[in-house]
């Protein structure tokens, strides 16, 4: 995949790319006030929601096309580039008609290949940067599929936005980061710039700084942050928006790690990691060998594979043990669930195996 650069690559001396602006363009005054305040802070790309997909009907769904001339004024008065979300062919037509500089495809749209293809078809022959958010569910192949659809339409100025993933579990985050998903995307598409959306990951303004720093520590190329001139009065997602002054404070305190630092001093520790990984594999092999023996016993004695009480007991005890020695409980839960799923698969295979 051959891409054209959208942004200058981040270096130790430079700061990350920042896209900022309100969740929604609510009024012309609010839009222009926020834009001027952000421009005064050195922000060069202004984002604003024009069409807002809401979970339930009845909520504020954006001002629609009436807000596009406001963004045109933003560009004329501040010199900033403008960026909006598009979800349909009509949105793309309207955005291009008003000279919007950057388009992004939202998480709900990315999850729908038909919708992405509709947008891709309209973009054919157009030279405009497109940012693609991760789908709402943690599916890296679905994310890559959306990227490929837009790429196949001839778009070469591409980047992705990591905004976290939906979950039914209780979490400190609005959308859990699951950093391994964008890391896997980078492994498969090393040339693809990744921008982090700490506003949607955190869902709360007090989490924006720490999430932004984590993204930079993972060498993401930029941040897209919701900023509003009066966030407490915002018409949508007020809890995750910050003022331009707070945004400036956060950006001033972010640390860009050294990217060309030698790793020779890590060689000893990395050898230790390799040895420990080998030990982990050996222990897992032994555990699954015991699982197969248990499966054989269950089959010979007519017992069901799934022993719910026993599994619940293991889950509870192991998570408590892990937390007592400083291991994250949620991480341990994910590990145990994966091991249990594989153990059940092994035992079912034994049960269905003919004599």
Residue 270 has pLDDT above 90, yes or no: no
**pLDDT confidence of residue 25:** 97
Question: Which CATH number is 17-253 given?
Answer: 3.20.20.70
* Domain parsing of the chain, residue ranges: 17-253, 264-352
| Residues 264-352, CATH architecture | Up-down Bundle (1.20)
Residue 99 has pLDDT above 70, yes or no: yes
**Overall average pLDDT of the 232-260 stretch:** 92
Q: What does the radius of gyration of the chain's CA atoms come to, in whole angstroms?
A: 24
Across all residues in the chain, what is the average pLDDT? 91
**pLDDT confidence of residue 314:** 87
3-state helix, strand, coil in the chain (%, to 5): 50, 10, 35
Backbone angles phi, psi at 228, to 5 degrees: -135, 145
**Overall average pLDDT of the 315-323 stretch:** 92
Please, what sign has the CA dihedral across residues 92, 198, 166, 48? negative
Number of H helices, E strands in the chain: 13, 8
Percent of the chain with pLDDT over 90: 66
Task: Determine the longest span between alpha carbons in the chain, in angstroms.
Answer: 79
Catalogue the E-assigned strands of the chain. 17-21, 45-47, 81-86, 102-105, 130-133, 158-162, 194-196, 222-226
In this predicted model, what pLDDT tens digit does every residue of 292-302 receive, in sequence order? 898 888 888 88
Mean pLDDT check: name the lowest of 80-89, 129-138, 194-203, 343-352: 343-352
Half-sphere exposure of 176 (CA within 13 A, CB side): 13
The residue with greater pLDDT, 346 or 213, is 213
Please name every residue paired with 195 in a beta bridge, in sequence order, or none if there are none: 161, 222
In this predicted model, what pLDDT tens digit does every residue of 119-168 receive, in sequence order? 999 999 999 999 999 999 999 999 999 999 999 999 999 999 999 999 87
Q: 355 in helix, strand or coil?
A: coil
**pLDDT confidence of residue 163:** 97
**Overall average pLDDT of the 210-236 stretch:** 95
Residue 263 has pLDDT above 80, yes or no: no
Q: 160 in helix, strand or coil?
A: strand
């Amino acid at each position: 995949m051959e891409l054209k650069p959208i942004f200058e690559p981040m270096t130790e001396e430079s700061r990350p790319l920042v896209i900022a602006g309100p969740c929604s363009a609510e009024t012309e005054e609010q839009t222009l006030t926020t834009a001027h305040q952000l421009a005064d802070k050195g922000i060069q790309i202004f984002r604003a929601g024009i069409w807002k997909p809401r979970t339930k009907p009845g909520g504020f769904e954006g001002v629609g096309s009436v807000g596009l001339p406001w963004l045109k004024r933003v560009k004329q008065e501040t010199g900033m580039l403008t960026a909006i979300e598009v979800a349909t062919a009509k949105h793309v037509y309207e955005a291009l008609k008003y000279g919007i500089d950057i388009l992004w495809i939202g998480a709900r749209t990315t999850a729908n290949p038909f919708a992405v293809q509709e947008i891709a078809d309209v973009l054919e022959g157009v030279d405009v940067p497109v940012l693609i958010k991760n789908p709402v569910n943690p599916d890296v192949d679905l994310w890559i599929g959306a990227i490929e659809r837009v790429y196949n339409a001839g778009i070469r100025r591409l980047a992705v936005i990591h905004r976290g993933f939906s979950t039914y579990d209780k979490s400190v985050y609005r959308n859990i980061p699951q950093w391994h998903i964008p890391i896997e995307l980078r492994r498969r598409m090393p040339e693809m710039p990744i921008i982090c959306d700490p506003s949607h990951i955190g869902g709360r303004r007090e989490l924006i700084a720490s999430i932004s720093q984590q993204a930079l520590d993972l060498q993401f190329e930029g941040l897209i942050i919701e900023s509003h001139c009066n966030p407490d009065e915002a018409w949508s997602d007020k809890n995750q928006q910050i003022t331009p002054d707070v945004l400036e404070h956060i950006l001033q305190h972010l640390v860009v790690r050294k990217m060309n630092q030698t790793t020779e001093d890590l060689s000893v520790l990395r050898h230790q990691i390799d040895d420990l990984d080998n030990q982990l594999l050996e222990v897992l092999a032994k555990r699954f060998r015991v699982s197969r023996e248990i499966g054989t016993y269950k089959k010979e004695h007519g017992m069901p594979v799934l022993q719910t009480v026993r599994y619940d007991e293991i889950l509870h005890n192991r998570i408590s043990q892990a937390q007592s020695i400083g291991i994250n409980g949620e991480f341990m839960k994910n590990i145990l669930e994966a091991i249990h799923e594989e153990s059940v698969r092994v035992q079912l295979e034994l049960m269905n195996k003919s004599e």
